[in-house]
Amino acid sequence: MTSPQTPDDLTLWYDRPAVDWETQALPIGNGALGAMVFGGVASEQIQFNEKSLWTGGPGSAGYGSGDRTSPRPDAIAEVQAEIDRDGKMSPEAVAAKLGRPRVGFGAYQTFGDLWLDVPDAPASPIGYRRELSLREAVARVGYTAEGVTYSREYFAGHPDGVIVGRISASVAGNVSFTLRTSSPRSDRQVSVADGRLTVRGALADNGMRFEAQIQVVTRGGSRTDGTDRVTVTGADSAMFVLAAGTDYAGARPSYRGPDPHAAVTAAVDTAVAKGFDQLRAAHRADYRRLFDRVRLDLGQRTPEIPTDRLRAAYTGGTSADDRALEAMFFAYGRYLLISSSREESLPANLQGVWNNSTSPPWSADYHLNINLQMNYWLAEQTNLAETAVAYDRYLTAMVAPGERTAREMFGSRGWVVHNETNPFGFTGVHDWATAFWFPEAAAWTTQQMYDHYRFSGDLVYLRRTAYPVMKGAAEFWLDNLHVDPRDGGLVVSPGYSPEHGDFSAGASMSQQIVFDVLTNSLEAARTLNVDAAFQTEVTAALARLDRGLRVGSWGQLQEWKSDWDDPANTHRHASHLFALHPGRQITPGTPEAEAARVSLTARGDGGTGWSKAWKINFWARLLDGDHAHRMLSEQLMSSTLDNLWDTHPPFQIDGNFGAAAGMAEMLLQSRHDTVQVLPALPAAWPAGSVSGLRAWGDVTVDVSWRDGSADKITLHTGATGPVKVRSAMIGGHCRVRDERGNEVAVARSGETLSWDARAGRSYTIANEIDLATSTTLRSSAWESTSASPGPPPERLPTSAP
């Protein structure tokens, strides 16, 4: 039988069952389906989700079409006039004029729980262990009692669209349990036939139909149907297969498709026919195709203590256990993204795909003033571009309702969405004063799409998928920028820097986001050689656009156009640093970068989970690896739960994703057309290696380092064209060789090498003096006369023997 133990450096493990969903249970998922495994001995609980099960939207009382408009068409102009006159307006005053009560927005729903009640379960099992293998995407539970070893194994298979569990024992005839479901909802019916439990209903709120089927399959023993449960007695092993679906469809106006019954039935039937081994093999192959692309070695070793203790003992110091937690956290970010965002489902929401409530925090929705964007920061960099397909489809579907809101609320072209949205094209506003207004959201969301093009170089994607969405987001601002009477510059008004201060004109983040979308759209139009009139319009707007980059009275980057910044303000949003990250307007070494550093220092190292994650990225972009690492440590010490979920608090998954992206950002950056290798390596990571990270221009990078400096960099280039690489290792003795060992002619400028790469080739940069030093030079005069090696002389043999 399978051992439940998978001791390796990328396995979360615990020596007792979970009793708390949020902090202890372990997540598995395939994008559309998610489950949380508790691992109880007498009663196993598996809470599960299907990502489209939402209240609200069409069918929900008062929702209307969801693309909500302002009460009066002239209300925005009135607010602009007041801000022009007084310079600012309180959030409450603006909300009173522009807000509307939110009706029928809905919330993401738990589907329910699966329970396996075990008769005569041992009170004191021996060797209990539950674990989540990040290498295999499998959760396991194991223990021994009276000489019998029991094990359970669970995974959420993407190719087969099912959650699978297998319960086995080392001695035949020892598997007995009753499988039943529960749910906080009353709008469901449960039926059982032939070992298959069906849960079916329609949400009372909006009529959305939902169905789950769970088939129990046994080897040996007996299986008995009850009215709402299936009992297995004395089996050698048993498997269950769960599929779930709804009649949600991602398109207006109804957002409804076929009844889920046929698809759910087919998924379960097909999976059962395949059997456990085939399902697991398909899952493994599918998952590892994505997960195995990146490997990170920070010098970790397999921890000998459970993961909750590993986290509690973590100090961000020099121990191998600390490195183990960091490497695990990075891998976990990638695991969670693969598990909560696959091609055919909705994108990862505030909780990925995992939610055990009917009224989760912030509805477990799609927040757009940082959160959804942060969810996808790691997608390209850590070689998981496929996970962003769900994001692209979701945004593309939001354009139509967003166009209507742009037209009716703003009288403009383009599309818009505000601070929060749902799966039903909600693109309007609500009336919570400090979070209702954020028309910049649409522009910001398109950044990921342009980034996908820059990372992949995929022109077909740019033309068909990204550009139309980007162009619409840019057109919205072409029509909505306001002339600031103070200086004639083009500003966003009303503008609000999330989620504090007053409303004003030209808040820095607003300006930087508009700069970003206009710049990206112009670049894209030029690349595609389309839309000459649009290019002219964007160029003219950019010439008059306020850039949102002002250095204020205490050397800070101003958050607003007026110098209102309070050095004592430690608000979690540091929105005015958008230009540093995720924007690319600020480059290190400039006065703006220095001002950003001053602002960030004043904001401090505190904040909620996602805020700390963002700060890892900021410090990495400022090339301060030690401070980036300090933020990672802050996050692991005070914003991470025992199951390594990020906590805002409460649990919010963006911080997991943002931190993994930040770690990647410490190791590789490329947003300014130069592949920067190890740009922000902290002293805490003196030696290590990473492979498979992605850079702009379809480049995949492997690098190993020691003594805080790269010793070998390999670039796998997917496209033919110029590449530029910067690294502190690049000095006079670096050579670039292709995969056949031939030296490549390069241009050298300081720490930067550039050459013309060919598609499908690999280029390795190594300091060949090191190789020479270890052989030819060992007996050379300069070394033998000096106790320490000292700097190498200027001219030495440059090729390896």
Footprint on this chain of ligand FUC (rule: CB under 6 A): 350, 362, 367, 369, 371, 435, 499, 572-573, 608, 610, 648, 652
Cα Dmax for the chain: 89
CB of 653 to ligand FUC, least distance (A): 11
What CA–CA distance (Å, rounded) separates 654 from 650? 12
Q: Pick between residue 361 and residue 555 the one whose CB is nearest to ligand FUC.
A: 361
User: 10 Å Cβ neighbour count for 686?
Assistant: 15
CB of 420 to ligand FUC, least distance (A): 8
What CA–CA distance (Å, rounded) separates 132 from 393? 30
CB of 353 to ligand FUC, least distance (A): 16
What CA–CA distance (Å, rounded) separates 739 from 750? 25
What CA–CA distance (Å, rounded) separates 347 from 370? 15
Q: Pick between residue 375 and residue 412 the one whose CB is nearest to ligand FUC.
A: 375
CB of 741 to ligand FUC, least distance (A): 51
Secondary structure in 3-state letters for 54-82: ECCCCCCCCCCCCCCCCCCCCHHHHHHHH
Q: Pick between residue 630 and residue 648 the one whose CB is nearest to ligand FUC.
A: 648
Q: Pick between residue 168 and residue 639 the one whose CB is nearest to ligand FUC.
A: 639
CB of 245 to ligand FUC, least distance (A): 27
Q: Pick between residue 362 and residue 618 the one whose CB is nearest to ligand FUC.
A: 362
Q: Which helix (H) or strand (E) holds 213?
A: strand 209-219
Q: Pick between residue 369 and residue 767 the one whose CB is nearest to ligand FUC.
A: 369
- Coil, strand or helix: which one is 690? strand
Q: Pick between residue 149 and residue 512 the one whose CB is nearest to ligand FUC.
A: 512
What CA–CA distance (Å, rounded) separates 385 from 290? 9
CB of 37 to ligand FUC, least distance (A): 26
Q: Pick between residue 417 and residue 435 the one whose CB is nearest to ligand FUC.
A: 435
CB of 194 to ligand FUC, least distance (A): 44
User: 10 Å Cβ neighbour count for 75?
Assistant: 16
CB of 500 to ligand FUC, least distance (A): 9
CB of 541 to ligand FUC, least distance (A): 28
- Of 645, 750, 782, 469, the C-alpha closest to 21 is 645
Q: Pick between residue 205 and residue 365 the one whose CB is nearest to ligand FUC.
A: 365
What radius of gyration, in Å, describes the C-alpha atoms of the chain?
A: 28
Q: Pick between residue 419 and residue 448 the one whose CB is nearest to ligand FUC.
A: 419
What CA–CA distance (Å, rounded) separates 335 from 155? 13
- Of 282, 91, 268, 120, the C-alpha closest to 197 is 268
Kindly state the tokens that stand for 171: 């001695």
Angle, CA 369 vertex, CA 364 and CA 375 arms, to 5° = 60
Q: Pick between residue 308 and residue 646 the one whose CB is nearest to ligand FUC.
A: 646
CB of 636 to ligand FUC, least distance (A): 19
Q: Pick between residue 33 and residue 429 the one whose CB is nearest to ligand FUC.
A: 429
- Of 201, 206, 180, the C-alpha closest to 189 is 201
Angle, CA 499 vertex, CA 498 and CA 500 arms, to 5° = 115
DSSP designation for 229: E
CB of 782 to ligand FUC, least distance (A): 58
CB of 100 to ligand FUC, least distance (A): 18
Q: How many CA atoms lie within 13 A of 704 on its CB side?
A: 6
With contact defined as beta carbons under 8 Å apart, do 482 and 491 qualify?
yes
Q: Which residues of 302-312 are buried (b: 16+ CB within 10 A; e: fewer)?
A: ebeebbbebbe
CB of 370 to ligand FUC, least distance (A): 6
CB of 392 to ligand FUC, least distance (A): 22
Give the CA distances from residue 190 to residues 36, 180, 222, in Å, rounded to whole numbers and listed in that order. Answer: 21, 10, 22
Q: Pick between residue 177 and residue 614 the one whose CB is nearest to ligand FUC.
A: 614
CB of 162 to ligand FUC, least distance (A): 31
With contact defined as beta carbons under 8 Å apart, do 763 and 736 qualify?
yes
Q: Pick between residue 291 and residue 610 the one whose CB is nearest to ligand FUC.
A: 610
Q: Pick between residue 56 and residue 299 the one whose CB is nearest to ligand FUC.
A: 56
With contact defined as beta carbons under 8 Å apart, do 471 and 531 qualify?
yes
What CA–CA distance (Å, rounded) separates 26 from 49? 14
Kindly state the tokens that stand for 683: 């002293």
Q: Pick between residue 362 and residue 477 the one whose CB is nearest to ligand FUC.
A: 362
Strands, E assignment, 528-666: none
CB of 497 to ligand FUC, least distance (A): 12
Q: Pick between residue 471 and residue 573 the one whose CB is nearest to ligand FUC.
A: 573
With contact defined as beta carbons under 8 Å apart, do 554 and 419 qualify?
no
CB of 341 to ligand FUC, least distance (A): 18
Q: Pick between residue 319 and residue 570 the one whose CB is nearest to ligand FUC.
A: 570
CB of 435 to ligand FUC, least distance (A): 5
Q: How many CA atoms lie within 13 A of 56 on its CB side?
A: 23
- φ, ψ dihedrals at 119, nearest 5°: -75, 150
Give pairs for 226-230: CB < 8 Å, separation 24+.
226/178, 226/192, 227/190, 227/192, 228/180, 228/181, 228/190, 228/191, 228/192, 228/197, 229/178, 229/179, 229/180, 229/192, 229/197, 230/178, 230/179, 230/180, 230/192, 230/195, 230/196, 230/197
